[in-house]
Amino acid sequence: MRKSLIVEAVLASVLLCLFPVVSLAAPKPAHGDHAEHSHAGKDDRRHAPAKPGDVRNHGKGEPTNKDVKADHDHDEKGLEDHGDLAMSPAQVEAARIEVGAASSGAIAQKLAAPGLVMVDQDRLARVPAKVAGSVAQLRKKLGDRVEKGEIVAILDSREVADAKSEFLSASVAFDLQKTLFDRTQILWDKKIATEQAWLQARATYVATELRVGLARQKLVSLGFDAQTIAALTPGASPDLRQYPVQSPIAGRVIERKVDIGAAVGANNDPSELYTVADLSSLWVDLSVPMADLDKVREGQAVAISAPGGREARGRIVFIGPVLNQETRAARVLASLPNPDLAWRPGAYVAARIDLTPGPAAVLVPRGAIQTIEGKPAVFVRTDRGFERRSVRLGKADGDRVEVVDGLAEGEKIAATNTFLLKAELGKSATSHDH
């Protein structure tokens, strides 16, 4: 029994020793803990998504709709300021930025068309063999320069010999009959010759005169001029068979079609000896689609450019009235001056036809346009410097661009070195982002 009492006493002592330790280790709700818990809940409510019509976030330190709008306006103002560049007049001058006013005017578009350089058909001549015979001489080679009327070949022709002989014979007979008629006329005037003798002499004289005229016309049809025929007298021509071939125009020999000794002029023989072309002026054969044909007029200027970089100016001289059945395009010819013979027939070129100018309300130099964020823009002069202004473009020619929206006539803009302003605007954007 006593032993049992001792055991109970020991257990009680152990429990008394352990009770305070367990009480200290347990968590006690304190005021500070309550405050922390309260704040945590409050934060959770603030960061939770707001419901439509929820007005609980009007407490102190919580963002309201007004605050959100103010932040948005701040961002928008930052973007607007980002398009402004502050520059003093000295800085503008140092950057060599020229300022000009947008103005109205007329602008002409250009119509692009492929082309082929060819010989001007009005300056092309075939040198024919007008008589039957054979080629005795060829005095010109390919590429040689010839003058109008210059002898380029000599033919040997029996036909020519017969025509010359006929003319000479008629001329001799005419001279004789003229002399006889003159004597008969004298005798008739003196009443010595009979009327019958006078009439017969006169008839013979007129007949031989007609023979001379017919023989002369035959020589003319063969290509002989009056001077050559007048110099044709008995014994004056050593070779009646020679026939000189002359060039009808001045130019260059671009083709030779026969060789020495070749038969020419007959039914089945070649009838042309040379092809001569005046290459000081050429044609450019253009193909213009039907949709653009109403914009093209005779007399319009044309800019011609070759792949090698050569350029020249021409003018429309012909517009075909018939469309090509396959391409549905019309043939348009442009004259191309070629004084230095730099352009060669057969070359493919690109042409730009200057269309009739049309009115434009606002025009700016092409150098004033910059592409910023994928959109065309100009830099408008302000009191502080320049302001970026997005614009919408219209027609354009070589140096000017039409602005159809975003800029008014008379506004001052940067006309040159606008790439410097674009670069400065890019630096400002980078600085703003950071």
CATH topology of domain 125-277: OB fold (Dihydrolipoamide Acetyltransferase, E2P) (2.40.50)
- Other C-beta atoms closer than 10 Å to the C-beta of 281 total 16
What distance in Å separates the CA atoms of residue 180 and residue 185, rounded to the nearest whole number?
9
DSSP single-letter state for residue 289? E
Rounded Cα gap, residues 257 and 128, in angstroms: 10
pLDDT of residue 27: 39
Burial class for 113, CB neighbours closer than 10 Å (0-12, 13-18, 19+): buried
Q: What is the CATH number that goes with domain 281-354?
A: 2.40.30.170
334 band by pLDDT with thresholds 50, 70 and 90: very high
Name the token pair of 118.
């060819």
* Tokens at 275, concatenated: 């092809």
Q: Distance (Å, rounded) from C-alpha 370 to C-alpha 304?
A: 28
What per-residue confidence (pLDDT) applies to 52? 35
Radius of gyration of the chain (CA): 52
Q: What is the mean pLDDT of residues 401-418?
A: 92
Distance CA 34, CA 369 (A): 66
Over residues 140-163, the mean pLDDT reads 94
Distances in whole angstroms, Cα of residue 90 to Cα of each of 70, 84, 368, 385, 393:
37, 17, 20, 11, 31
CB-CB contact of 112 with 372 (8 Å): no
pLDDT at res. 203 = 94
Which residues are CB-contacts of 94 (< 8 A; sequence separation ≥ 6)? none
Structural contact between residues 358 and 306, judged by C-beta atoms closer than 8 angstroms: no
Contact 362, 408 (CB under 8 A): yes
Residues 124-139 have pLDDT tens digits of 999 999 899 999 999 9
Instruction: Give the pLDDT band of residue 237 (cuts 50, 70, 90).
Output: low
Q: Which residues contact 161 (CB under 8 A, 6 or more apart)?
A: 240, 241
Q: What pLDDT shows up at residue 431?
A: 60
Q: Residue 356's pLDDT is what?
A: 77
Higher-pLDDT residue of 405, 55:
405
Mean pLDDT of 244-257: 94
pLDDT in tens, 180-205: 999 999 988 888 888 899 999 999 99
Q: H or E element: which one contains 317?
A: strand 311-323
Mean pLDDT of the chain: 80
Q: Lowest mean pLDDT: which of 83-87, 215-219, 301-305, 313-317? A: 83-87
Compare 56 and 227 and report the one with higher pLDDT: 227
How many CB atoms neighbour CB 302 within 10 A?
Answer: 25
Q: Is the pLDDT of residue 44 over 70?
A: no
Segment 18-32, tens digit of pLDDT? 334 333 333 334 444
Query: Which candidate, 286, 311, 304, places its Cα nearest to that of 115?
Result: 286
Beta strands in 324-416 (DSSP E): 329-337, 348-354, 358-365, 370-372, 375-381, 385-390, 392-396, 400-405, 412-414
Span 259-280, pLDDT tens digits: 999 999 888 788 899 999 999 9
C-alpha 295/C-alpha 289 separation (Å) is 11
pTM listed for this prediction? 0.57
Task: Give 243's strand partners.
Answer: 155
Instruction: Give me the torsion for CA of 117, 119, 122, 125, rounded to 10°.
Output: -170
Torsional class of 392: left (φ above 0), alpha (ψ -120 to 50), beta (otherwise):
beta
What was the pLDDT predicted at 238?
A: 65
- Which residues, other chains included, contact 226 with Cβ-Cβ below 8 Å and sequence gap of 6+? 220
Q: Which residue has the higher pLDDT, 358 or 235?
A: 358
Q: What is the pLDDT of residue 433?
A: 57
Percent of the chain with pLDDT strictly greater than 70: 78
Q: Say how far apart CA 411 and CA 416 lie, in whole Å.
A: 15
pLDDT for position 359: 83
DSSP string, 71-127: HHHHHHHHHHHHTEEE--HHHHHHTT--EEE-EEEEE--EEEEEEEEEE-GGGEEEE
pLDDT at 81: 40
Give me the half-sphere count of Cα atoms (radius 13 Å) on the Cβ side of residue 312.
23
**Going by C-beta distance under 8 Å and a sequence separation of 6 or more, which residues neighbour residue 383?**
none
Domains in the chain: boundaries: 83-107+359-433, 125-277, 281-354
Segment 355-368 shows an average pLDDT of 86
Residue 347 reports pLDDT greater than 80 = yes
How much is the pLDDT for 239?
79
Selection from 114, 100, 105 nearest residue 394 by Cα: 105
Q: What is the CATH topology of the domain spanning 83-107+359-433? A: 2.40.420
User: 344 with 393: CB under 8 angstroms?
Assistant: no
Residue 396, SS3? strand
Token pair of 389, please? 């202004």
Tell me the torsion sign for CA atoms 40, 43, 49, 55.
positive
Q: How far apart are CA 221 and CA 207, in angstroms?
A: 21
